[in-house]
Amino acid sequence: MIHLSLTTKFNEQLFDVNFMNFTDTISSIHHHLEVAEDELTGWLKLPMNMTIDDLNAIQFLSEEIKENADVLVVIGIGGSFLGAKAVREALSPNFTKNQNGIEVLFVGHNLSGSYMKHLIESLHHRDFYVNVISKSGATLETSVAFRILRQYSVERYGQNAKQRVIVTTDPENGLLREIAIAQGFRRLDIPSNIGGRYSLLTPVGLLPISVAGINITEILQGACQAAIDLEVDDIEKNEAYRYALLRYKLYSHGYQVELLASFEPRLSYIHEWWKQLFGESEGKDKKGLFPASVNYSTDLHSLGQFIQEGNPLLFETFLHFNNISEDYYIPFNRVDDDDLNYLSHRSLNEINAISKQGTVLAHAQGGVPIIQIELEKLDAFHIGYLIYFFMKACAISAYLIDVNPFNQPGVEAYKSKISDLLNLESIVNLVAE
Ligand SMILES: O=P(O)(O)OC[C@H]1O[C@H](O)[C@H](O)[C@@H](O)[C@@H]1O
């Protein structure tokens, strides 16, 4: 389902020697992950455990929203928005995103006043629902946006506003859960044993994705297939483990940055989701690869020079879907004043794939190690497969460098500084009054 390969100057050394040396390590990590019930590993079996009733509940709600609204406003940040946005972008047409569903707008992932003003203005003449998503239930950006959208909903819909608010949060804890209970908002659960960045296949991702008109059953089928394929405790057969090991070997050789690269603009938010997944899972105890990304061929004309000849601190992971159903052909031009007739009648996807091959060759020649992840087709099934593949590979990668893949203690530092500053300012303002 996923094909993985590595091209580097010292290909043999990395590939052949080290895989088998890691059999025992991988096996013990594999078993740890399977039995680590105290940790946030609920996502591992989630695709298999999802019942028809769970799925129906999300789909019914999605139908209700599509019938009664022009827009779904999703409030959330980090793992509570990146996945839905990534899948929506990857599987929707570039310029008419709401072809089979309704428009989904994201807010609460920044504190920009102009972003909020423009968002509210864009809602003035349209009907909307709000889906606020937060695992902790107390994230500043999300809470601020929710307060604003709650008030605006009441201005627009009066007493009926609460019918239009869906709260997705932890089933047992958190301020948002308390608000939802007190106000009578409908709730969807993020299972307690699944952390934010591993929550894409829960209602966190599934409701907005379904409202956007994407088939969530196919996404889950793909994830289920991945869960089955990637359950084997055998490095030769488990592509997620092989990817984790390749990254680990490159990291051990001194590479510090992994650059996820695609030639399809619709994948740019998959990159963003992947960055949070790997960045927060691995980046602790002064360890971890820095996850960065490039969108080609656009970035060949900006970062390409550095990648080819600059500081050799990075390796590239190319993400490629072999079939993309939408395509366009280059027309024949009788005059040929642009000298492009040698390309006439060839498809852009075909030329794009060739430009990927050329880039791989050039960068490998420049000394950049290259991992390639190839999937058959850009569709809901394969996106579901890819999501699960990355989550599994990420957990294994973090354990390989001996860090906990499921916490993010460093994020608290900036949160408490912001909170200190905001509280200090409130006190100063109070005294000034
Ligand atoms: O879902 P929430 O609890 O609001 O959290 C949203 C985000 O907050 C922080 O940035 C965490 O580091 C992320 O892992 C999380 O996804």
ipTM: 0.98
Residue 12: is its pLDDT beyond 70? no
Beta bridge partners of 165: 130
- Interatomic CA distance for residues 407 and 196, integer angstroms: 10
Q: Angle at CA 15, nearest 5°, toward 10 and 19?
A: 145
Across the range 372-390, mean pLDDT stands at 96
Q: Name which of 142-146, 181-185, 236-240, 354-358 the model is least confident about.
A: 236-240
Residue 7: is its pLDDT beyond 70? no
Domain ranges within the chain, ordered by starting residue: 2-33+221-409, 42-214
pLDDT of residue 17: 46
Per annotation, catalytic residue among 239, 280, 282, 316: 280
User: Which residue's alpha carbon is nearest to atom 12 within ligand 1?
Assistant: 411
- Interatomic CA distance for residues 305 and 314, integer angstroms: 13
User: Is the CB of residue 33 less than 8 Å from the CB of residue 44?
Assistant: yes
Residue with tokens 């946030």: 40
Residue 24 has φ and ψ, to the nearest 5°, of: -70, -45
Q: 79 CA distance to ligand 1 centroid (A)?
A: 6
Q: How far is CA 80 from the centre of its chain?
A: 10
37 counts as catalytic: no
Q: Are strands 370-377 and 2-7 parallel, antiparallel or unpaired?
A: antiparallel
pLDDT of residue 10: 47
pLDDT of residue 421: 86
% helix / strand / coil in the chain, to the nearest 5? 55, 15, 30
User: Is the CB of residue 385 less than 8 Å from the CB of residue 1?
Assistant: yes
- Whether 136 is in the pocket of ligand 1, judged by its Cβ within 6 Å, is yes
280 counts as catalytic: yes
Structure tokens at 176: 């948002």
Residue with tokens 């105890």: 285
Residue 196: is its pLDDT beyond 50? yes
Residue 393: is its pLDDT beyond 90? yes
Across the range 350-366, mean pLDDT stands at 95
- Whether 295 is in the pocket of ligand 1, judged by its Cβ within 6 Å, is no
- Phi-psi label, residue 367: left if phi above 0, alpha if psi -120 to 50, beta otherwise: left
3-state SS assignment for residue 220 = helix
Across the range 375-395, mean pLDDT stands at 97
User: Which residue's alpha carbon is nearest to atom 14 within ligand 1?
Assistant: 196
Same CATH fold assignment for domains 2-33+221-409 and 42-214: yes
Structure tokens at 41: 């590993």
Q: Name which of 29-43, 172-186, 288-302, 317-331 the model is least confident about.
A: 29-43
134 half-sphere exposure, CB direction, 13 A CA radius: 27
CATH homologous superfamily for the domain 2-33+221-409: Glucose-6-phosphate isomerase like protein; domain 1 (3.40.50.10490)
Going by C-alpha positions, the residue among 208, 197, 388 that lies closest to residue 278 is 197
User: Is the CB of residue 79 less than 8 Å from the CB of residue 197?
Assistant: yes
Distances (CA, A) of 359 to 255, 260, 364: 20, 14, 8
Q: 53 CA distance to ligand 1 centroid (A)?
A: 28
How many Å from the N-terminal Cα to the C-terminal Cα in the chain?
Answer: 65
253 vs 386, higher pLDDT: 386
CATH topology of domain 42-214: Rossmann fold (3.40.50)
Q: pTM for the complete prediction? A: 0.94
Q: Over the stretch 229-248, which tens digit does the pLDDT of each residue have?
A: 999 988 888 999 999 999 99
